[in-house]
Amino acid sequence: MPTKRGMWIGLVVAIVLLSLVVAAKQPKERPKTGPVAAAENKSGGGQEAKKDAVRGKPKTEDHAVDPSQYVGTETCISCHEEQGKSFDRGPHWKTNLAKHQGPQYQGCEACHGPGKEHAESADPSKIIRFGGLSREESSKRCLSCHQFGEEHSNFLRSAHLKNNVGCIDCHSVHSAKVNRQLLKAAQPALCYTCHQEVKPDFSKPFHHRVNEGLINCSNCHNQHGGFLDKQLRSTAAQDQLCFSCHTDKAGPFAWEHAPIKTEGCVACHTPHGSNNPRLLKRSQVNLLCLECHTLTIDTPAPNAPSFHNQAVKYQACTMCHNSIHGSNSDRTFFKP
């Protein structure tokens, strides 16, 4: 029989042999090449450099601006005197104060790019001219500063840009007719240059007072883009937009008129203008109500009672149901 000493020696030998076999099967580490190796060599093998190289993160020096290519606003004004005067009248003169951001964000060259070559040669091709850019390219130059915040952040996916309408179609830095927001014309005339189909609505007997200047198109629509149809500044049901002015209809109510929550105010009203009082879609109130409150199989709305025979005294439903938007005391909207 093997002794205890012999058993221990055999066990040690087996462990050594097993370690050698495992080590032989381990793949040899290959020398690192490419951007990871370059990043490690430059930074001493730092973990952050490895991550940046793997992710393809651009180094700061790759996008460095050469200050010598920028000549400053005063040089531009020496030739473009009229444009310089209009520049000073608008809000963009404040970019000259952005010393902390570098010359690429200051003055004329913030929009038109570095101007040294243009100033030395007077060659128009050596400077960025907005008239020669596509609407998307020119708008992206504007958004390099104006992209932050809800107002402008969706412009690149807006209906305007999809229809080849860019920033310079409505705004002008050097020849604005309305100094505020540098508009080429005041609302609603500016909007009517494209949206001719809605212009007659604001001349109907009952309309939102846009032509009178009480409200603007941009109070309801975000001209720079949004997530809803027609670029509305609203919720999906579109009711919150109306409630910003018509607060008495907002509620909350114990009994709500269902269409307000499901379809919004436009279920009964036309938003721009109508030939009917209160911007209603129908000239007779009962015809509007009977679009839902009639005997059909698939409608959840209650049917009009049989004694409502649509004689003259029943044709104005709101004579009795006068709290039609909602009520806190009556499920049939007889009382507020």
Residue 199: pLDDT over 90:
yes
Residue 139's pLDDT band, with cuts at 50, 70 and 90, is very high
Residue 253, C-beta contacts closer than 8 angstroms, at least 6 positions apart? 325, 326, 327, 328
Produce one character per residue of 93-122: b if its CB has 16 or more CB atoms within 10 Å, e if not: eebbeeeeeebbbbbbbbbebbbbebbeee
Q: Are 286 and 317 in contact (CB under 8 A)?
A: yes
Phi, psi of 173 (to 5 degrees): -70, -35
- What SS3 state is found at 256? strand
pLDDT per residue as tens digits for the range 1-45: 456 666 777 777 777 777 776 666 665 554 444 444 444 444 444
The predicted model gives 33-58 an average pLDDT of: 45
Query: Closest by alpha carbon to 215, among 241, 239, 250, 188?
Result: 188
pLDDT at 57: 40
165's tokens = 């309408």
Angle between helices 34-43 and 47-55 (to 10 degrees): 150
How many other CB atoms are there within 10 angstroms of residue 166's CB atom? 21
pLDDT interval class at 302 (50, 70, 90)? confident
Of 141, 293, 139, which Cα lies nearest the Cα of 223?
139
Across residues 163-191, what is the average pLDDT? Answer: 92
Instruction: Give the pLDDT score at 292.
Output: 85
Stretch 254-259: mean pLDDT, rounded? 86
Please report, rounded to a whole number, the percentage of residues in the chain having pLDDT higher than 90: 38
Residue for token pair 């009178």? 212
Query: Over the stretch 104-119, which tens digit does the pLDDT of each residue have?
Result: 888 999 999 999 999 9
